[in-house]
A = this chain, B = another copy of it.
């Protein structure tokens, strides 16, 4: 075939440096070991001291680039050497066992595309909030690893084991109590994300991944699983990740993520032009598949069924799209999802009516609306659905 020793040394003055006047007239950058992001793309998460929010408004499709996956840590990202890493499973098991990373990778594996969302993923306030500001603590990856059920069988989980403790190896030694049935059902001990090793921010080298459940339960940097017969009532499932509901009750172990949708275009800070506009966004449910997304472009008076991008996967961000002709008048656009259990995404008022005004910030999934100004500016509408 073609001999391809391009004389790059002798002719290196032809290579592109900076922005070429005409890239068709200068040799380009040669193939490399790693690809790059274009210097013209300025994607970034929005970090705080405890989390970093995915720029939902910038994404196309359903996969979140791994370096833009949201972060939520309770004492930063640990550095863990995969060569010394191990996972210990003990407690109500016949065979307490220590698994190295290599051990875990020898077991039958599984992959699935699923979202991961922090249950504290709702902020509201000013008109100049983006989807990232409002609910940037959700992302989606293809996760691969070993089914926890496979490990349960391997260690001989005893019949009376009903809960397990998952413990992280970070500086917070994060712990959550999880019903054993989730382990038998669809939990994954994951070591890969979007084809490669899990990124440090997402739990390198190994995390628990509980499809559809509040993000905090998918314990990162997983170092230990203890089987028991009752929950531990750790700080993260009492002081935090609980919500006050009516009559002074405190709802605990509210694992499932309720169905939610959000328009990601057009949203602040986009400005649109008159004519056809593709309204698009993401919808998901922790309880299964998205059945339907409805979009209203007249402040909720009429609703139209949006198109869902195939494949519609279980417990996964699903792209919806609705083609809309905007004639230039001020209006509100909004979306709501219906999941396969028949749950319809509520308004903030419905949520507060159901839970009481003091419920706090967990598991808040209200419909979100955007005001289109006659000049095409798009503003978040914090008061919609109150």
- Is B1 in contact with A197, judged by CB distance below 8 angstroms? no
- Is B71 in contact with A24, judged by CB distance below 8 angstroms? no
A239 closest partner in B (C-beta): B2
Residues of B near A280 (CB, < 8 A) are: 109
Residues of B near A143 (CB, < 8 A) are: 61
Residues of B near A15 (CB, < 8 A) are: 76
A146 closest partner in B (C-beta): B278
A108 closest partner in B (C-beta): B278
Interface size on A, residues (CB 8 A): 105
> How many copies of this chain does one complex carry?
2
Query: Beyond A51-B31, A61-B142, is A20–B79 a contact (Cβ under 8 Å)?
Result: yes
Shortest distance from the beta carbon of A131 to any chain B beta carbon, whole Å: 14
Instruction: Give the B-binding residues of A (Cβ under 8 A).
Output: 1-2, 4-6, 8, 15-16, 18-20, 23-41, 43-52, 58-69, 71-73, 75-83, 106-111, 120, 142-144, 169-171, 173, 191-192, 194-197, 199-202, 204-205, 221, 240, 273, 276-278, 280, 309, 311, 313, 319, 321, 323, 360-361
Out of B28, B32, B78, B106, name the residue touching A28 (CB < 8 Å): B78
Bound-complex Cα distance A35 to B67 (A) = 4
Residues of B near A44 (CB, < 8 A) are: 33-34
- Is B31 in contact with A71, judged by CB distance below 8 angstroms? yes
- Is A311 in contact with B309, judged by CB distance below 8 angstroms? no
Bound-complex Cα distance A360 to B143 (A) = 39
